[in-house]
């Protein structure tokens, strides 16, 4: 990597927030990089700009909704919708209602993930959808309860959002809200007793029987899929500012595409950021400058949808007969 230490390139690429997705193998800039893998921000193929989808996961009462609210408040000039995973809870049958204290609301099977996927698919394609509404008191679902219109940004929020790979694949950015277990439990007791009118013994029973185990078995293992981990949730305003800044940059690129319909913006990857860092550095050797500039130019000129170079086939006949 020429005269660059790993930490220099890491510093150039990292944005300050705890960023687990940044790994050394991604800095293998001279390794093979397929142009086919590079997405663009242009949504021209289907005539609309695909929304920027943010997934916010984390334990119950970790502060997910509060973090979402802070992001929305800061993105005040954008069209943002929040879709919560709890809207997709299966309603309980009469039999299940009788044994409601034995029902595990923290297990992945408690959610109708296929319905969530079909709603998200429509929203991603610019169609309005009816999102069901779940009642925490009756444990029943009301279908078609909330009409959600397509937006620039969709925030998906819920405890188990990173569990299913099909849901993860919908997301442009994955955030995990990481709050200590004792803080989560304290908040849960306060919320469930005061706001939901539940009995404290039932809240503690549910916690020790299902919530704690499900967190360890299903939620915590999905932390590794996050692009950004926010320690202390909504108290971490630095992390939230940086996230909003990143979303604004992405949306700005979409806006450019709206103004210039033939513009394709290749999405930044760590490789691309690393190469930019190198070619901008005055200390870069001529050899490295040529190597990385050449790689960058190739990415632009070879991109499968960018037919900026037209090719014609010519048949040349030489006087010698060849
Ligand atoms: N940083 C914070 N400081 C104090 N209370 C908070 C903080 N974040 C969230 N809360 C409170 O904790 C409870 C759960 O927060 P919420 O954002 O609804 O969590 P989640 O969506 O993860 O269940 C709410 O009553 C909320 O007001
Ligand atoms: O009928 C229900 C449905 C869910 N729960 C609990 O809610 C939390 C998830 O909601 P957050 O807003 O993310 O805290 C989960 O731990 C379930 O146990 C419930 O108690 N009753």
Q: Is the ipTM of this complex over 0.95?
A: yes
User: 44-250: which CATH number, 3.20.20.20, 3.30.70.3270, 3.40.50.300, 3.90.105.10?
Assistant: 3.40.50.300
Closest atom, ligand 1, to C-alpha of 157? 21
Phi, psi of 262 (to 5 degrees): -100, 15
How far is ligand 1, taken at its centre, from the CA of residue 66, in Å? 6
Closest atom, ligand 2, to C-alpha of 198? 20
How far is ligand 1, taken at its centre, from the CA of residue 207, in Å? 17
Average model confidence (pLDDT) across the chain: 82
SS3 state at 234:
helix
pLDDT band with cut points at 50, 70 and 90 for residue 36: very low
SS3 state at 10:
helix
The per-residue pLDDT for 88 is: 97
The per-residue pLDDT for 8 is: 38
pLDDT in tens, 165-219: 999 999 999 999 999 999 999 999 999 999 989 999 999 999 999 999 999 999 9
Six-digit token string for 27 = 């800095």
Six-digit token string for 272 = 């691309």
pLDDT band with cut points at 50, 70 and 90 for residue 304: low
Q: Which of 122, 125, 90, 127 is nearest to 109 (CA)?
A: 90
Number of Cβ atoms within 10 Å of the Cβ of 163: 20
- Chain-centre distance for alpha carbon 267: 14
Q: Is the CB of 179 under 6 A from ligand 2?
A: no
Six-digit token string for 146 = 């909330």
Half-sphere exposure of 242 (CA within 13 A, CB side): 16
Q: Is the CB of 63 under 6 A from ligand 1?
A: yes
- Which residue minimizes the CA distance to atom 27 of ligand 1? 66
How far is ligand 1, taken at its centre, from the CA of residue 184, in Å? 8
Q: For residues 30-58, give the mean pLDDT.
A: 60
Instruction: Give the torsion sign (CA, 66, 68, 73, 79).
Output: negative
Taking the C-alpha atoms of residue 187 and residue 56, their distance in angstroms, rounded to an integer, is 18
Confirm if 305 and 40 have CB atoms less than 8 A apart: yes
How far is ligand 2, taken at its centre, from the CA of residue 106, in Å? 7
Taking the C-alpha atoms of residue 3 and residue 286, their distance in angstroms, rounded to an integer, is 12
Confirm if 303 and 35 have CB atoms less than 8 A apart: yes
Q: Is the pLDDT of residue 90 over 70?
A: yes
The segment(s) of the chain belonging to CATH 3.40.50.300 are: 44-250
Q: Which ligand is nearest to the CA of 190?
A: 1
How far is ligand 1, taken at its centre, from the CA of residue 274, in Å? 37
Question: Tokens 């939230």 label which residue?
Answer: 240
269 vs 93 pLDDT, higher one? 93
- Which residue minimizes the CA distance to atom 12 of ligand 2? 60
How far is ligand 1, taken at its centre, from the CA of residue 172, in Å? 24
Q: Which ligand is nearest to the CA of 236?
A: 1
Q: Is the CB of 277 under 6 A from ligand 2?
A: no
């Amino acid at each position: 990597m020429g005269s660059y230490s790993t930490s220099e390139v890491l510093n150039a690429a990292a944005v300050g927030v705890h960023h687990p997705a940044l790994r050394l193998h991604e800095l293998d800039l001279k390794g093979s990089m397929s142009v086919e893998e590079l997405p663009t921000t242009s949504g021209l193929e289907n005539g609309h700009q695909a929304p920027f989808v943010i997934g916010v996961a984390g334990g119950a009462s970790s502060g997910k909704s509060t973090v979402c609210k802070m992001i929305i408040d800061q993105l005040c000039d954008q069209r943002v919708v929040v879709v919560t995973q709890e809207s997709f809870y299966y309603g309980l049958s009469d039999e299940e209602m009788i044994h409601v204290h034995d029902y595990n609301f923290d297990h992945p099977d408690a959610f109708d993930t296929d319905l969530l996927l079909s709603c998200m698919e429509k929203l991603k394609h610019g169609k309005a959808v009816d999102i069901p509404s779940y009642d925490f008191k009756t444990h029943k679902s009301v279908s078609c309860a909330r009409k959600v219109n397509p937006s620039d940004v969709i925030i998906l929020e819920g405890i188990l959002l990173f569990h299913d790979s099909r849901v993860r694949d919908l997301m442009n950015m994955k955030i995990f809200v990481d709050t200590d277990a004792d803080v989560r439990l304290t908040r849960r007791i306060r919320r469930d007793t005061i706001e939901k009118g539940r009995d404290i013994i039932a809240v503690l029973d549910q916690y020790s029987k299902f919530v704690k185990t499900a967190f360890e078995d299903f939620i915590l293992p999905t932390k590794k899929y996050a692009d950004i981990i926010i320690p202390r949730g909504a108290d971490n305003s630095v992390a939230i500012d940086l996230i909003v800044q990143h979303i604004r940059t992405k949306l700005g690129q979409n806006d450019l595409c709206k103004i210039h319909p033939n513009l394709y913006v290749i999405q930044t990857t760590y490789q691309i950021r690393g190469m930019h860092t190198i070619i901008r550095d005055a200390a870069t050797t001529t050899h490295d400058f040529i190597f990385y500039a050449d790689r960058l130019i190739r990415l632009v000129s070879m991109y499968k949808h960018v037919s900026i170079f037209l090719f014609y086939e010519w048949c040349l006949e030489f006087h010698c007969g060849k």
